[in-house]
Amino acid sequence: ILSEADKHRAQNLLEKLTRAIENRLTEQDLSSIHTNNSVVRAQHQKGDQLLSQRSSTSAHDPFTDRLPPKPRRRSSTLNKN
């Protein structure tokens, strides 16, 4: 059983921790917005570079020029009892 003083200290600690977490989340949100903008910009630049390299070197696109998957053969030993 907790005394009133213990309950009061626990409540104060909970409030401090809650504020600290909220402040940290706000800081992370602000920095992640900046970071995300930088990352998106870098990804667009890299994508543009890859597109220009691909178009200048070859018309081959490994993502669309794949062969269809081979059909699986059923094993004749599976159904033998």
Task: Specify the pLDDT at position 27.
Answer: 78
Task: Specify the pLDDT at position 30.
Answer: 75
How many angstroms separate the Cα of 78 from the Cα of each of 14, 38, 47, 70, 81? 62, 56, 48, 20, 8
pLDDT digit string (tens) for the chain, length 81 residues: 889 999 999 999 999 999 999 988 887 777 776 666 666 666 667 666 666 665 555 555 556 656 666 677 665 555 555
